Amino acid sequence: MSEFFHAVTHYPFMLNALLTGLLASVACGIVGTYIVSRRITYIAGGIAHSVLGGMGVAHYLQVVYGWEALEPLYGALAAALTAAGIIGWTSLRMREREDTVIGAVWAIGMAVGIIFIAKTPGYSEDLMSYLFGNVLMVSKGDLLIIALLDGLVLIISILFYNQLLAVCFDEEFARIRGVNVEFFYLLLLSLTALTVVILTTVVGIIMVIALLTLPIAIAGRFTRTLWHTMFLSTVLIMFFTTAGLAVSYTPGLPAGATIILVTGIGYLAAVTGIRFFRKSHH
Amino acid sequence: MDTKPVVVVRDVSFAYPGNSELVLQHVNLAIYEKEFIWVVGPNGGGKTTLMKLLLGLLKPLSGTIEVFGSTPAAARKRIGYMPQAATLDPKFPVTVMDVVLMGRLNNFKAGWYTAADKNAAIHALEQVGLAALQHRRLHELSGGQQRRLLIARALSSKPDLLILDEPTVNLDQQVEQELYRLLKQLNEHLTILMVSHDPAFVSDFVKKVVCVTGTVAVHPTSDVLKEKVGDLYGGKVRLVRHDKHQENNRTYKG
């Protein structure tokens, strides 16, 4: 553990990794709470996997055409927002097709990504870092973008907390109260897209879902209102990402996977702990 | 006493998009101030459709609907709506107060609810007798309390018309009676339109029964009560009454 603190204070990449984890926790706690309460985890899953397409295309253009400025993170953003738009539009227009469209966006996004990564000259270890995260590789520039996205998610969620809550809780009633349900639903999916992009830098595309759901499930057992859940989840995710980083450092384990494992253990402990507590009190 | 019309439905027909079958045909209906209207009819008869038309969630294929002299969508601010309790997720992390405050929502009013919103919410909770439970979580309420909460949410916007969708489904008789007394009280200031399967709910304070079976027939409650109300869904009684009424309607229109 002391080695970890030494690394954080002496190596910029470790400090960046720690800060990325802490920043990502804010967006993840807030948006994850909306996603879990509204039960649209599978939409978040679809958006997350579609991100690979954007990353693959952006990286290809960078390497093959020399578009240096087009970081994979921008490609990820474009892909995530497009996926959110497509899924949102179909789910509002033709509800029964939603599952199919999510599946299509999910798989086609990955297929596009894999094809472009395969055709990109050079060693394709990037694929692994997209899929499973590369938090130790986060640059100062990435960190700035993550901070900006985080700020955007935070401001929108605070300003429109009431509307987003109402749309998640009872869409029809919100509509009767004059709330533009379509707008706020698409806004929520866009926030989901931004959050997913932030999280892929920490734990990668495939494991995003765990961070978006497990800490919220733990927090939900102790909280009464949505914003309490958001707050407690954020604190929990901060703890899990930091603990995961710390645990992974000395033995040199993959950071993203270790964070997810720590989160999973935390979830199991909370569930069984509560069971045990209830039994001993009844 | 029955003076100003709150709702005027003129010759309205409706079919869902992509479906040629008319759910409602040539519906005419007028609802007056402080009336208590009981909307009955079989499943698929068009009760919910009629309600959604009045709320402006659906648009009629032909005919016109006026609510408080304007279009339903424009009149929504003056309508309090209570959906079926089953449509809500009881595990959703919200408190009683959170839910009631949703009645005070506006479209783009960013930020927190005002003190006026909170006062209106508390007043609404007092009206239904739930003020003491305002910090409880939704799933900690009993079935009857959840219905009261949904009524309070509808009341918090200070509506002039209250529309209730199946308020008594799955409640035991005692709770149902309490709810009945509450609505009777509210009816002193409000026009109420209630969709309900529950024949026990009909009583002396319901003045009009609107029967929806593809079209709409209005009966004074006394007529319906003369029959065994429970037979309303028995087919024969309803059909006979309904047809009779339709014929009257036609003569009247002609």
Residue type, A238: M
Token pair, residue B47, equals 């009760």
Within 8 A by CB and 6+ apart from B155, the residues are B80, B103, B124, B127, B128, B162, B186
Residues of A in contact with B153 (CB under 8 A): 173
Residue type, B236: K
Predicted local distance difference test score (pLDDT) of residue B80 = 93
Residue A35 near residue A47 (C-beta atoms within 8 A): no
Residues 145-164 on A with a CB inside 8 Å of B are 158-163
Residue B17 near residue B10 (C-beta atoms within 8 A): no
Residues of B in contact with A163 (CB under 8 A): 105, 107-108
Condensed to tens digits (0 to 9), the pLDDT of residues B10-43 reads: 999 998 888 888 888 888 889 999 888 888 887 7
Residues of A in contact with B111 (CB under 8 A): 158-159
Nearest CB partner across the interface for A163, out of B57, B83, B105: B105
Q: Does A57 touch chain B (CB under 8 A)?
A: no
User: Which run of H or of E encompasses B220?
Assistant: strand B215-220
Residues of B in contact with A159 (CB under 8 A): 110-111
Q: Does B101 touch chain A (CB under 8 A)?
A: yes
Condensed to tens digits (0 to 9), the pLDDT of residues B52-102 reads: 999 999 999 999 999 999 999 888 889 999 998 878 888 899 999 999 999
Q: Compute the distance between CA of residue A64 and CA of residue A9 in angstroms, rounded to an integer.
A: 37
In angstroms, the separation between the Cα of residue A174 and the nearest Cα of chain B is: 7
C-beta pairs of A74-78 under 8 Å, 24+ apart in sequence: A76/A51, A76/A197, A76/A200, A77/A149, A77/A193, A77/A194, A77/A197, A78/A54
Q: Compute the distance between CA of residue B149 and CA of residue B179 in angstroms, rounded to an integer.
A: 11
Token pair, residue B149, equals 């909460």
Whether A14 shows a pLDDT value over 80: the answer reads: yes
Predicted local distance difference test score (pLDDT) of residue B225 = 53
Q: Does A169 touch chain B (CB under 8 A)?
A: yes
**DSSP letter assigned to residue B112:** P
Condensed to tens digits (0 to 9), the pLDDT of residues A83-118 reads: 999 999 988 887 667 888 999 999 999 999 999 999
Condensed to tens digits (0 to 9), the pLDDT of residues A227-245 reads: 999 999 999 999 999 999 9
User: Which run of H or of E encompasses B197?
Assistant: none
Angle A131-A113-A107 from CA coordinates, rounded to 5°:
85
Residues of B in contact with A36 (CB under 8 A): none
Asked which of A64-73, A270-279, B172-181, B228-237 is least confident by mean pLDDT, the reply is: B228-237
Predicted local distance difference test score (pLDDT) of residue B87 = 80
Q: Compute the distance between CA of residue A54 and CA of residue B78 in angstroms, rounded to an integer.
A: 47
Mutate to test the interface with B, among A170, A171, A183, A228 (most CBs of B within 10 A): A170
Do the strands B5-14 and B24-32 form a parallel or antiparallel pair, or are they unpaired?
antiparallel
* The total number of residues written for chain A in this structure: 282
Q: Does B137 touch chain A (CB under 8 A)?
A: yes
Angle B2-B4-B7 from CA coordinates, rounded to 5°:
100
Q: Does A185 touch chain B (CB under 8 A)?
A: no
Would you place residue B203 in the very low, low, confident or very high pLDDT band (cuts 50, 70, 90)? low
Residue type, A176: I
Q: Compute the distance between CA of residue A46 and CA of residue A156 in angstroms, rounded to an integer.
A: 23
